[in-house]
Amino acid sequence: MLLPNTGVSAALFVAGALCFLGGIIALQTRNHATGASSLITLMFSLCWWDVTYGLFLANTPALYSNFWLHVVYIGVVFTPPSVLWFVMQILGLTAWSRPPFVISLYAISALVLTLVITDSRHGLFFGGREITNAEMILSGGPIFWANLAYSYTLMLTSLFILTHRFRKATGIYRKQLGIILLGVGIPWISNLIFVSGLSPLPKVDTTPLSFTVTGMIFTYALLRFRLLEIIPIARDVLIENMSDGVIVLDSQNRLVDFNPAALQSLELDQPPQMGQPASEIFAKWAELAQDFSSVNDVRVELTFDQPARAFLDLKISSLYDHNANFLGRLIVWRDITPLKNAQAELQEQAIRDPLTGLYNRRYLNEALTRELARAARERYPISLALIDIDDFKRLNDEYGHPAGDSVLRGFAKQLLDQTRVEDMAYRYGGEEFLVLLPNCPGANAVNIADKWRKSFSTANPSYKNGTKEFTISCGIAEFPTDGRTGAELIAAADQFLYQAKATGKNRVVARANR
């Protein structure tokens, strides 16, 4: 003859098997994912609750009075903290899902379980009564009600933070949270109906069955919506830890939200207050606040020279609600000074000769065109000096390339030391150098180049132990007399340099002194 609750027991056994299956799926497929540990704990707690409660309702022979109920409560007390732990993990609430807090949740549950098992001694939970499957407990001692309040608090907290996050979520995150919200809500409502005496099965606690529905919903989300594989990132984790400054203003340009990086960039004496005008928040950047106070969408690069040169990439985006009503602005800025400095360094390296540190031939073409255009516009002369180190090949052949490199570096330093700020020195190629002298007539350039020649000979009197004097030759062309384009000037200077070489070297040749 079937017992009165055999059908419910069978349903609970099936539910327990499904929860066990869900736990195994999570264990096998998402074992290392965020939220896996709490979900697995929850699924196995539900499995325990279902199976043992089914055995209790079936009047299974027990070792002592209330044995099965004691065993059932292992699942009962550990399920609510598992739900809250799971919710905190998948929402990225790392500060609350760390071991100390989680252990404290389960420690309270373990204490309640201990009081359940020892109730015959103190009567604080069941009141010392023997509970059978035909008399499900609807009231008890103070610990019963305290545990009920504790469990409801955990479930309500889970519902609250899920609802709050669900309202802000989008895309697959919103679908995930919607499924989880449904799963958490069902057992809470079911248990409330049971405790209030409105259940269609007043002698049977349907809470484990409703929690099983939760477990199945979570398993469905695990397989259908990639639960634990794609986890929403909490606003606190995302925004608070951003290195970019973030400010949110309402439609009246009043502060709504900000992050620590914004405070650091703005260098405020004290944290701003919600509702504070943007003009006060951006007091350090008064010009910025004035220029963009009415701009809804823009992306600009800002440069600040005080206290040190800095660059910001700033973006202002409009915020609208689902009815397209304007809500305010999101202002995000990033310090791109290191990037700009790196770009400038790379650009400098691209136009510099690596051995001598002088400008290279690639940059000469750009600079020469620009300087000649300016000279023509402002009507002043430019001299171009083309310099060659005499017998440089012999130096490399007899004493090696390191010796030659040392001479090249030395001469480059000499040119930098003996030229004006507006002059530009280049390594033209090999042992050839070129110097642009803006606003310098050819006759003056000859005198300057002759000083270079004498200084070079003094600094390099001979090839080490040799007797050959170390010298340079130089050809000088003047704009616009010897040419009106860069190519014409270089060709003229090269011709004068050839004449200097052909007439004995160690000399400066220009049209004026030929």
**How is the chain split into domains, by residue range?**
6-224, 242-336, 351-513
Which residue in 386, 358, 375 sits closest to 449, CA to CA? 386
Read off the DSSP letter of residue 512: G
pLDDT at residue 287 in the model? 65
Which residue in 221, 204, 201, 280 sits closest to 247, CA to CA? 280
Contact 209, 15 (CB under 8 A): yes
Q: Give me the torsion for CA of 152, 153, 159, 163, rounded to 10°.
A: 150
Question: How far is residue 361's CA from residue 436's CA, in Å, rounded to a whole number?
Answer: 12
What are the backbone angles phi and psi of residue 208, rounded to the nearest 5°? -60, -35
Residue type at 110 in one-letter notation: A
pLDDT at residue 173 in the model? 65
Q: Is 505 helix (H, G, I), strand (E, B) or coil?
A: coil
Separate counts of helices (H) and strands (E) for the chain: 18, 10
| Domain at 351-513: CATH code | 3.30.70.270
Question: How far is residue 83's CA from residue 187's CA, in Å, rounded to a whole number?
Answer: 11
Q: Which neighbouring-strand residues pair with 510? A: 476
pLDDT at residue 306 in the model? 62
CA distances in angstroms from 175 to 22, 75, 227, 238, listed in the order given: 19, 28, 10, 20
pLDDT at residue 144 in the model? 86
Q: Is the peptide bond before 461 cis (omega within 30 degrees of 0)?
A: no
CA distances in angstroms from 76 to 35, 68, 141, 469, listed in the order given: 21, 12, 17, 101
Residue of 378, 398, 431, 432 marked catalytic: 431
Architecture of domain 6-224: Up-down Bundle (1.20)
Question: How far is residue 455's CA from residue 478's CA, in Å, rounded to a whole number?
Answer: 23
Contact 266, 282 (CB under 8 A): yes
Which residue in 126, 140, 137, 147 sits closest to 202, CA to CA? 137
Q: Is 437 exposed, middle or buried (0-12, 13-18, 19+ CB in 10 A)?
A: buried
pLDDT at residue 90 in the model? 77
> Residue 190 is encoded by which pair of tokens?
């079911």
Model-wide pTM > 0.85: no
DSSP output for 208-226: HHHHHHHHHHHHHHHHHS-
Residues of the chain with pLDDT under 50: 1-3, 133-136, 230, 467
pLDDT at residue 377 in the model? 92
What top-level class would CATH report for the domain 242-336? alpha beta
Q: Is 420 helix (H, G, I), strand (E, B) or coil?
A: coil
Contact 243, 333 (CB under 8 A): no
CA distances in angstroms from 387 to 3, 487, 489, 507, listed in the order given: 112, 16, 14, 10
pLDDT at residue 134 in the model? 41
Q: Is 149 helix (H, G, I), strand (E, B) or coil?
A: helix
Contact 203, 131 (CB under 8 A): no
Question: How far is residue 83's CA from residue 76's CA, in Å, rounded to a whole number?
Answer: 12
Which residue in 354, 47, 117, 134 sits closest to 126, CA to CA? 117
Look up 287 and say whether it is catalytic. Answer: no
